[in-house]
Amino acid sequence: MKIVPYDLYVKFLVTKGHHSLQDINDELSKVHLAPIGNSVFERHIRATKSKLPAPIWEQIAKQKIYGQAFFRWMGALDLDEIWAAEKAYRSEETAKQWSLIYDIMEDPQVRTAVKSMVMKKIELEELAVTLNAKFSTFLNKRHLELFRKYMWNPSLMKRGDWRKYLQSNHVSNAEKDILFSCLTETEDVIRTKLGLPANLVTSDVLQMMATEAVLKVKHFLRIQDQNGNKEARYWMDKTQSLLALREKYKAADLRDFSKELQMQFEYIDTDFESPDEATLKEVLEKDPANAEKTKGEDKNETDDGQQSMDV
């Protein structure tokens, strides 16, 4: 394993003076991160030492960390934001900020939810709102940006890196399951697994299940023995019932959509002007069809009046 999603956090630990693999892994365990291998450790030791002036590396080695020059060099390593929470440089704001970030790692449910949603590239502002509602956290977009940068940055990983990471004996089966799902399933499937709000279309899920059932039918028909025929008949029945359910829920999905569309029109607040009575009468009088009709009515009234006089 050559890299991990928390690679920058490993570099931070090196700059704090943790210069043995065991020491680094002990620190990682404190924040519930899986241990690294020697290749990751050696790479960070060599790279950090080569990029820093001898006096700065000596400060690290002797664990005498102080001064603005040191802080500027940490900025050159892209570590200034996390060093800003250390005793020599922290303010009340940065201390509170990083306290909430480390709190993410302490709660298994929150930790898993944040890692998963970051992997699915959810907007961080939206994610903060969702987490606060679900888990009563006090996170905002900035907390999640720093978490993604230092504690869990999936953009560092390629598919091969994920394969090696998931093969590690130090990653729990529960974490392997959710991370593998993040790499293979849609966002809404992951949200459902995490108990977060999701938008699953029932008919699409049933279509997927029906497709799998059809594949089962084809598989068992190819076997061409008594047991295979029995299994094929079973999956044929399943396919038929699933397709029937799909058509039912597909119709329901369409009704829900049309209902939603209708509600959008029903609640339009725009006022449309209508002509007043005088204007309407004037328009009607100018209409040729209405004019002919009016003449006919006037003639009938005249004839009726004349007949009354004759009588």
Instruction: Give the separation between CA 240 and CA 228, rounded to whole angstroms.
Output: 18
On whether the CB atoms of residues 183 and 157 are closer than 8 A, the answer is no
Helix intervals (H) in the chain? 7-15, 21-30, 38-51, 54-62, 68-76, 80-83, 92-106, 108-119, 124-135, 141-146, 159-166, 173-184, 187-194, 202-223, 226-266, 277-286, 288-310
Tell me if the pTM is above 0.75: no
C-alpha closest to that of 9 among 146, 193, 135, 192: 146
Task: 301-305: list long-range contacts, CB under 8 Å, 24+ apart.
Answer: none
Residue listed under structure tokens 């209409």: 287
pLDDT, tens only, 64-115: 888 999 999 999 999 999 999 999 999 999 999 999 999 999 999 999 999 9
3-state SS, residue 287: coil
Cα dihedral 248, 254, 259, 263, rounded to 10, equals 160
Handedness of CA 79, 82, 88, 91 (dihedral sign): positive
Burial of 151 (0-12, 13-18, 19+ CB in 10 A): buried
On whether the CB atoms of residues 73 and 66 are closer than 8 A, the answer is no
Angle, helices 277-286/288-310, rounded to nearest 10 degrees: 90
C-alpha closest to that of 246 among 201, 198, 192, 199: 201
Q: Which two tokens stand for residue 103?
A: 């709190």
Q: According to the model, what pLDDT value does residue 281 have?
A: 67
On whether the CB atoms of residues 139 and 200 are closer than 8 A, the answer is no
Query: For residue 310, is pLDDT > 90?
Result: no
Tell me, rounded to whole angstroms, the distance of Cα 295 from its chain centroid: 71
Q: According to the model, what pLDDT value does residue 200 have?
A: 55
Tell me, rounded to whole angstroms, the distance of Cα 10 from its chain centroid: 27
Instruction: Determine the residue type at 311.
Output: V
Average pLDDT, the chain: 84
Q: According to the model, what pLDDT value does residue 129 have?
A: 92
CB atoms under 10 Å from CB of 124, counted, come to: 20
pLDDT, tens only, 223-258: 878 888 888 888 888 888 878 877 776 665 555 545
On whether the CB atoms of residues 38 and 21 are closer than 8 A, the answer is yes
pLDDT, tens only, 111-129: 999 999 999 999 999 999 9
